[in-house]
Amino acid sequence: MLATWSNKEDCCKWRGVHCNINGRVTNISLPCSTDDDITIGHKKNKTHCLTGKFHLSIFELEFLNYLDLSNNDFNTIQLSLDCQTMSSVNTSHGSGNFSNVFHLDLSQNENLVINDLRWLLRLSSSLQFINLDYVNIHKETHWLQILNMLPSLSELYLSSCSLESLSPSLPYANFTSLEYLDLSGNDFFSELPIWLFNLSGLSYLNLKENSFYGQIPKALMNLRNLDVLSLKENKLSGAIPDWFGQLGGLKKLVLSSNLFTSFIPATLGNLSSLIYLDVSTNSLNGSLPECLGKLSNLEKLVVDENPLSGVLSDRNFAKLSNLQRLSFGSHSFIFDFDPHWIPPFKLQNLRLSYADLKLLPWLYTQTSLTKIEIYNSLFKNVSQDMFWSLASHCVFLFLENNDMPWNMSNVLLNSEIVWLIGNGLSGGLPRLTSNVSVFEIAYNNLTGSLSPLLCQKMIGKSNLKYLSVHNNLLSGGLTECWVNWKSLIHVGLGANNLKGIIPHSMGSLSNLMSLKIFDTKLHGEIPVSMKNCRKLLMLNLQNNSFSGPIPNWIGKGVKVLQLSSNEFSGDIPLQICQLSSLFVLDLSNNRLTGTIPHCIHNITSMIFNNVTQDEFGITFNVFGVFFRIVVSLQTKGNHLSYKKYIHIIGLSNNQLSGRIPSGVFRLTALQSMNLSQNQFMGTIPNDIGNMKQLESLDLSNNTLSGEIPQTMSSLSFLEVLNLSFNNLKGQIPLGTQLQSFTPLSYMGNPELCGTPLIEKCKQNEALGEDINDEEGSELMECFYMGMAVGFSTCFWIVFGTLLFKRTWRHAYFNFLYDVKDWFMSRWT
């Protein structure tokens, strides 16, 4: 971006630099242009943008009045100017300001973190425009007080800045010149602060996508100059106020996705200047007021996703001659349109739900439609030819979960985006014109082969980027016609009756990023020609009959590799270790042998956990509509679709053997690991305690031995654990984590003991017996010692008396003789 910035050129000739007639820099405009059509995760490709630190020294350009560095990749503000330096800057005003900047735009620098905004006070007092959208200023708790000291500020954009506090105690805000205020997409959780409604000059107020709650205060009426008010996606409740009708100058009112109840007030019909009204996705009941049909300036009316009822007829739309977008639908609407009614409007965008299309004959008069969305509606007794003729003029066609049992075999689709999910469509696949970029026709009853679609003769070069026909009844092979579809980014063919092999022609899809062919009857080896798909990021071939070795040519950029439930054999290739960006590795339910590669710790994405909160998948943009390809996988025993990054290794039900290499336990970002039903041996190392992110661990049905490491008790996120049917022994480590699982997690380990098993540890019983034996032996020892002492004492008393007293000695021996004579007389 700075290729033209050279000392050999006058700076006024540099790219993005503008000067006045005196050669003084007045304008620096270097917004980075990025390709938003395709993004990986939620990240834009900004490798060519400005990055690093944003230096405040740029404001030393005393005549600078306009600075736009939006959509770059700065990460910090360099506060290199201290107060003394700032006050010594030579300015025409002599006020110590940096410059005369009135326009400052640092928006869309998603990695930029600003902890201190006080430097803004050193800018010119004439600062009128500030845009910090998507800049993280979470730690600047005094942002409002600082910005409140800029009296000339007229436009302030702070969308998605991670702000939390709106200073509800602040009685008054001094934004006397403020006209545009955008605080959308932050983390506010409070009632609407009163100081907002003191900004009498506001014409634009955007507070959508926060967590504001409570009712809308009547102080809002102070904003007499308000043209646009958006409170979309909050938690506001109560009734939509009647006094809204007194905001006569209001042109756009968006109250959708809140908790409003009661009916739509008829006073909204007094807003004669209203152009845009959106009250969708609330709990509004009652009927749609006919007075809304008198808003002759209304261009957009969105009232769907409410439990509205009553009769809906042409009287509700009688004078809406400027209407361009109409969105309505309810289970309880009763349609009563005159079959010959011709609306006064020419719609561009129509969204219907819970409608019977045969009761809406006026629909076919809307030949200016560019977007049709119809959900949960009835298409019986509707002319197919008339509908497809109308749809052919649309750029966007969305039909989802409708009762639409139409045969698609002879239909030609022409819309840029064709989205036909779950409509009960039958027959063969339709044909596409070269205009179609997105074609999704999943969850229908389509039969036949892929050939009518893929091998059709098309006028012009195909622009198809997204093809998904999964969950139908399609059969036959994949054909060799893929060479005609080189623009494809995503191909989804799963859950069909397809058979045969992957044709070599699929290797011609050089732009392919995602390939999903799961739950089919395909077999054979993956062709080597697929290595030409160098952009491949997601490969899902689960539940087929593919055989041969795991491909060793898979590109290093792959993030998801799902090859489970096939017949792959041989060793896990060492090239797996080169997939440093891998997040999901699932090779379970195959015939793999050998060991886990010792280099597996080279998969660095499974070590560092700094991206776990990022959105994952492939997002691409077609005419302003964003499509995301997500990851579907099985973890924790459930099939789930993930939009966030998740780190998984699945190698279960193979014939892998040897010790589990220590490198596995260095993958500290893993959230799920399943190595069950193999022949792994050895012990579980203490290093497993470092895997703090583990939520699911299955090592069952192996021959692991030794004790369960005490460190496992520190795995506080663990929800699923299975160590059953191994040769583990000893006591289950104490700690609430491991004791919280059922005995099923440990069964089949005969020498394992302790809670939650019913087997008590023998070492504890032995310890108790030893203690009892020791106590008993000590008691007996004392008893015998007492007897010995007593016997000795008695012996010496008696013997000493006999020895020293003669009369006792004679008497004692006479007694013995008498006893002897008596004894002898008894036995003779």
List, as one string, the DSSP characters of 522-571.
EEEPPPGGGGG-TT--EEE--SSEEEESPPS---TT--EEE--SSEEEEP
pLDDT score for 638 = 47
Residue position matching structure tokens 């993956």? 526
Among 68-82, 271-285, 354-368, where is mean pLDDT lowest?
68-82
Q: How far is Cα 773 from Cα 770, in angstroms, rounded to an integer?
A: 5
The CA angle 340-341-345, to the nearest 5 degrees, is 145
Residue 801's pLDDT band (boundaries 50, 70, 90)?
A: low
Residues in Cβ contact with 184 at an 8 Å cutoff, skipping those fewer than 6 apart: 159, 160, 206, 207, 208, 209, 210, 230
CB 387 within 8 A of CB 413: no
Residue 66 pLDDT exceeds 90: yes
pLDDT score for 151 = 86
pLDDT score for 816 = 52
CB 625 within 8 A of CB 417: yes
* Residue range 553-582: mean pLDDT, rounded: 93
Domains of the chain and any CATH numbers: 1-30+49-150 (3.80.10.10), 537-765 (3.80.10.10)
Q: DSSP assignment, residue 193?
A: P
The CA angle 794-798-803, to the nearest 5 degrees, is 145
Q: What 3-state class would DSSP assign to 735?
A: coil
The torsion angle over the Cα atoms of residues 349, 355, 361 and 364, rounded to 10 degrees, is 30
Alpha-carbon distances, residue 689 vs 608, 705, 708, 716 (angstroms): 16, 17, 11, 10
Residue 206 pLDDT exceeds 80: yes
Sheet holding 727-731, edge to edge: 657-659, 679-683, 703-707, 727-731, 751-753
pLDDT score for 617 = 62
Q: What 3-state class would DSSP assign to 59?
A: helix
* Residue range 410-415: mean pLDDT, rounded: 95
Q: What 3-state class would DSSP assign to 782?
A: helix
Residue 798 pLDDT exceeds 80: no
Radius of gyration of the chain (CA): 40
The CA angle 744-750-755, to the nearest 5 degrees, is 55
Residue 641's pLDDT band (boundaries 50, 70, 90)?
A: very low
Q: How far is Cα 703 from Cα 716, in angstroms, rounded to an integer?
A: 26
Neighbours of 542 (CB within 10 A): 23
Alpha-carbon distances, residue 618 vs 26, 40, 42, 605 (angstroms): 40, 5, 8, 17
The encoded tokens of residue 171 equal: 């009685």
Q: How far is Cα 89 from Cα 60, in angstroms, rounded to an integer?
A: 7
CB 526 within 8 A of CB 558: no
Output phi, psi for 324, to 5 deg: -120, -30
CB 221 within 8 A of CB 247: yes
Cis (ω within 30 of 0) for the bond into 709? Answer: no
Q: How far is Cα 506 from Cα 484, in angstroms, rounded to an integer?
A: 10
pLDDT score for 71 = 94
pLDDT score for 811 = 56
Residue 175 pLDDT exceeds 90: no
Residue 298's pLDDT band (boundaries 50, 70, 90)?
A: very high
Q: What is the pLDDT of residues 449-506, one digit of tens each?
A: 999 999 998 888 999 999 999 999 999 999 999 999 999 999 999 999 999 999 999 9
Residue 42's pLDDT band (boundaries 50, 70, 90)?
A: low
Residue 628 CA, distance from chain mean position: 11
pTM for this structure?
Answer: 0.83
Q: How far is Cα 168 from Cα 50, in angstroms, rounded to an integer?
A: 37
Q: DSSP assignment, residue 136?
A: B
Long-range (24+ apart) CB contacts under 8 A made by 22-29 are: 24/61, 24/62, 24/63, 25/61, 25/63, 25/64, 26/63, 26/64, 26/65, 26/66, 27/64, 27/65, 27/66, 27/67, 28/58, 28/61, 28/64, 28/66, 28/67, 28/68, 28/69, 29/66, 29/67, 29/68
Alpha-carbon distances, residue 503 vs 89, 493, 527, 561, 739 (angstroms): 70, 14, 7, 20, 52
CB 162 within 8 A of CB 137: yes
pLDDT score for 810 = 56
pLDDT score for 673 = 95
Q: At what angle do helices 762-804 and 806-827 cross, to 10 degrees?
A: 110
Q: How far is Cα 506 from Cα 481, in angstroms, rounded to an integer?
A: 8
- Taken in order 456, 459, 462, 468, is the CA torsion positive or negative? negative
The CA angle 55-57-60, to the nearest 5 degrees, is 150
CB 51 within 8 A of CB 73: yes
Residue 91's pLDDT band (boundaries 50, 70, 90)?
A: very low
Q: How far is Cα 65 from Cα 56, in angstroms, rounded to an integer?
A: 14
Rank 137-146, 405-414, 735-744 by mean pLDDT and report only the highest: 405-414
Q: How far is Cα 156 from Cα 154, in angstroms, rounded to an integer?
A: 7
Residue position matching structure tokens 């005369």? 100
* Residue range 181-197: mean pLDDT, rounded: 93
Share of the chain above pLDDT 70, in %: 84
The torsion angle over the Cα atoms of residues 397, 398, 401 and 402, rounded to 10 degrees, is -30
Q: How far is Cα 308 from Cα 330, in angstroms, rounded to an integer?
A: 6
* Residue range 34-43: mean pLDDT, rounded: 62
Q: What is the pLDDT of residues 318-353, one digit of tens each?
A: 899 999 999 999 999 999 999 999 999 999 999 999
Average pLDDT, the chain: 86
Residue 737's pLDDT band (boundaries 50, 70, 90)?
A: confident
